[in-house]
Amino acid sequence: MNDPHTGPDSDPAQNSLDALRSRAAAPDANAADCLAYGHWLLQQASRDKDKQREALAALVRAYRLEPDCDAALLHTIAQTAFIVRDWGLVDDATALLLGQNPQDANALIWRAAAVQQRDDFAAAEALLREALRAVPGNAVVLHKLALCIKEQARFAEAECLLRQVLTAEPGNAHAWFDLSEIEIRTGRFADGWAHYESRLAFADDLNNAQQALAAISAPWLGESLAGKTLVVYGEQGNGDCLWAVRFLPLLAERARNEGGRVVFGHDGPLRHLFERVLPPDLPLETSLETQPDFHCGLMSLPLRLGIFDSAGWGGPYLSAEPALVEAWRERTFAHTAGHAGQARTLNVGLVWNGNPEHIRDMRRSVPVDQFEPLLHVAGVTWFALSPGRAETVAQWRAQGLPVIDLTHHFQSGFDDVAALLANLDLVVTIDSGPAHLAGALGVPTCLMIDRVSAWFWGDETPRTAWYDSIELYRQPRVGDWAPVVAQVRKRIEAMLGAK
């Protein structure tokens, strides 16, 4: 019988790779084998973070065994560490690189990113300006500097730098996208929506629905739908879809008047919630059943429908399922002082952190220790709205804090979340999907947002025209949640006093 690894049908290339992997992992591995294995993994990794981390480990081992085995090794380590967000390793590698050459622009950029993760924007900006002195006018450095300055809420300066990038590189879709977010947040919707279309150029980020539709239909640019069928597909995150679904009834009305047809292509936890807002002649399809003439992303509707003013769009437009609302009324009642002879507590929904994979989660989430002062307000029962936080809730309950986690009852996607929200007096949340859901339902909401939040929430205002029921509480400084928590606590105490 042939050995499956060495027989005539075995793959010589795979055998060589297996041998290389074994040599690189051996206790007596040499730098050349570790280096070769690390480079091979990087070539195969694409966006596979696990492979990139494995490659990084092999490259670091090669460097420790023989620092001079490859002239570019330290740069490769720093860049890969930057990609996988191993900021400690970025610090170490760039310190060595800048010790060799203080004007190494790449090392300065990577080090600035690591420093920025610690919210030291002044130091990050100084590093990027040093990089710009090393490579004057470089579009990459200008772009990084623009984003660093944007994170300090210096939007006019950031916009100026982005326009410099676009002068040098008119086709830079990422710069157009970053510019669009500044334009939208400052109410320049005509330009902002147009430039926001640049997101479609990020070919690697397009979802499967967009790719499939692009293969069989033309992009809809706002032309007449007379005799035509348009499929609008859901895109980006849940919050984006919750925000943009409000425009579908207007689109349906236009198609109806023109003699056309619109289909909404969407599948996921928001599906049933959305079906209730759609007009009868705008069906929702979870797979590509309709062969359309046109396709359009949900986030493109404001541009295609000419919505260049946010006024009048703040009222509630979603609703919870009545039967689920009743079921959740019983659940919440069982955990609050609502019985005869007892005063009813204020029932408040709670979201203090988000998905750690979100690019802004570190800045939008409130650390548990900074959030706890809010939980000591007497007369409030708190309901966790995000699944997977049972450990933190248990710690709070051990301290005697009235935080309830009923998220294990979420069986119907966001329909259950909506039904729970419908039974609450208030929602306190960070910038997350539940914030958009609460606003779309018209539930009173205190939204705690970081110094530089998403464009939905505008700039330096206590309200957003997109959601009438949401009050905004902004950080005065990056990372400073104490004043935000204090203001929200004062708001809750005022509600208790008015009961």
pLDDT tens-place string over residues 65-103:
999 999 999 999 999 999 999 999 999 999 999 999 999
Distance CA 266, CA 275 (A): 10
Looking at the chain, the number of H-run helices and the number of E-run strands are 23, 12
Nearest to 273 by CA among 170, 422, 452, 167: 422
3-state DSSP assignment of residue 297: strand
Answer whether 0.75 is exceeded by the pTM. yes
For residue 478, the model assigns a pLDDT of 86
For residue 203, the model assigns a pLDDT of 55
The pLDDT of 402-409, averaged and rounded, is 92
Q: What is the DSSP-derived secondary structure letter of residue 351?
A: E
In the chain, the amino acid numbered 175 is A
Helix (H) or strand (E) holding 51: helix 49-65
Residue 286's alpha-carbon distances to 215, 250, 264, 270, 496, in angstroms, are 18, 21, 9, 11, 44
Question: Lowest mean pLDDT: which of 74-78, 344-348, 405-409?
Answer: 344-348
Distance CA 213, CA 219 (A): 9
3-state DSSP assignment of residue 188: coil
Q: Say what angle helices 73-84 and 105-117 make with each other, to 10 degrees.
A: 30
**E strand spans, 365-456:** 380-384, 403-405, 426-430, 445-449
Q: Is the dihedral of CA 13, 17, 19, 20 positive or negative?
A: positive
pLDDT band at 224 (very low <50, low <70, confident <90, very high): very high
pLDDT tens-place string over residues 178-222:
999 999 999 999 999 999 999 998 755 556 778 888 899 999 999
Distance CA 205, CA 215 (A): 16
3-state DSSP assignment of residue 271: helix
Nearest to 173 by CA among 145, 204, 151, 149: 204
Contact between 350 and 428 under an 8 Å Cβ cutoff? The reply is yes
Distance CA 295, CA 468 (A): 31
Instruction: Using the predicted structure, report yes or no on whether residue 4 has a pLDDT greater than 50.
Output: no
Instruction: Using the predicted structure, report yes or no on whether residue 341 has a pLDDT greater than 50.
Output: no
In the chain, the amino acid numbered 203 is A
Token representation of residue 421: 């929200």
Q: Does 14 or 287 have the greater pLDDT score?
A: 287
Residue 3's alpha-carbon distances to 6, 8, 9, 12, in angstroms, are 5, 9, 10, 13
For residue 1, the model assigns a pLDDT of 40
The pLDDT of 302-318, averaged and rounded, is 95
Sequence-ordered list of residues with C-beta below 8 angstroms from that of 248, at least 6 positions apart, any chain: 232, 262, 264, 277, 278, 282, 298, 301
Nearest to 449 by CA among 465, 468, 437, 463: 463
